[in-house]
Amino acid sequence: MSARWLDDELDNEDPRPERRRTSKTRKPLGRRLATLTADPDDGEADDTICRLTDLGHIHEVVAELKSGKEATAYVARGPRGSVLLKLYRDLEARSFKRDGVYREGQVILDERAARAMAGRTRRGLEMLQAGWVQAEYAHLWRLWQAGLSVPEPLVGPSPYDYAQTTPAVLMRLIGSEDHPAPRLSEAALAPDQARDAWGQAVQGMADLLRLGYAHGDYSTYNLLWWENRVTIIDVPQLTTRHNPNFADLLRRDAESLSTSFRRHGLSQSGEATLREVQRRALGPGPAPRVQLP
Ligand SMILES: Nc1ncnc2c1ncn2[C@@H]1O[C@H](COP(=O)(O)OP(=O)(O)OP(=O)(O)O)[C@@H](O)[C@H]1O
Ligand SMILES: [Mg+2]
């Protein structure tokens, strides 16, 4: 099966700059900042924000950063500093179109739940949404603890704790409130910085592979650049070898990475990138932040 097949499945996910829709044209927009106040006297108060405030995870939402396909990113403040709050879309506004490719191979033991999800009932959509949020937390924790360059998750590691923040994911803001880190796709890099960023991006993909993961949407659109460090973001759809699409997703990631780096003057082919990733995956990884038992 070729990567072209995946391109068709994920048609709006195309990492090639010339073919990827910009956030400006994506509709409908996520909830606006004005509706996100946690003020209980405000009839428009957003219930997720109220809940996050009540739970003590945030004090306030500072600004809307970016509205994407699946979620809207906000800058917020919490007890441990600046927070990136990723608020997944209202169920009605989400298509769940891309989910299938990534979820293939997953076993759902609860038959009624499996039926609700397949039938896209409201309950089924809620379960899919919650699954997506919880997968993002679980992956962030796994990668963070293993020492990879990802934002630190700010709720958890117990799934009991992070399940309470659905449909939001809270993680540390990379950059500052005034200057959140740009994505590598929009960063201006000198030639030596571009080479350094490329090396880190390839190493990041290799670090994921060593742990058994393909990112599934790996390109400069999901890599942040801050103080000469690359940070991998957007990890809900990480897949393992249990997914029959694993090899295709991995190949597609390598192609997307190399294509999206062309604007920085690098022209490694997708094939060569994949070989380099596989070679590095056999080498040493980062030091774990937490020693797992
Ligand atoms: N920890 C973070 N620190 C700073 N900015 C972040 C962080 N996480 C995400 N962002 C910003 O928020 C944007 C959206 O995040 P993410 O890619 O996870 O969501 P998405 O809905 O998949 O968006 P897209 O459709 O653009 O891929 C990113 O492109 C990035 O600009
Ligand atoms: Mg993204």
Residue 105's pLDDT is 72
Encoding tokens for residue 261?
């780096």
pTM: 0.87
* Nearest CA residue ID for atom 20, ligand 1: 68
Alpha carbon of 66 to ligand 2 centroid (Å) = 10
For residue 215, give the DSSP letter. Answer: -
Alpha carbon of 30 to ligand 2 centroid (Å) = 14
Residue 175's pLDDT is 98
CB-ligand 1 contact for 65 (6 Å cutoff): yes
User: Residues 245, 251, 253, 259: is their CA dihedral positive or negative?
Assistant: negative
Considering every ligand atom shown, identify the ligand nearest to the alpha carbon of residue 187 and give its number.
1
**Lookup result for tokens 């800058």:** 75
Indicate the burial class of 15 (C-beta count within 10 angstroms; 0-12, 13-18, 19 or more): buried
| pLDDT per residue as tens digits for the range 161-183 | 999 999 999 999 999 999 999 99
Q: Of 202, 209, 218, 222, nearest to 253 (Cα)?
A: 218
| Domains of the chain and CATH, by start | 19-172 (3.30.200.20)
**Cβ neighbours of residue 218 under 8 Å, at least 6 residues apart?**
205, 232, 253, 254, 256, 257
* Nearest CA residue ID for atom 1, ligand 1: 173
| pLDDT per residue as tens digits for the range 9-33 | 554 444 444 444 443 333 334 455 6
Encoding tokens for residue 230?
């690359």
Q: Is there a contact between 163 and 130 (Cβ–Cβ < 8 Å)?
A: yes
Q: Could you say which residues of the chain have pLDDT below 70?
A: 1-45, 91-98, 107, 109, 291-293
Residue 20's pLDDT is 46
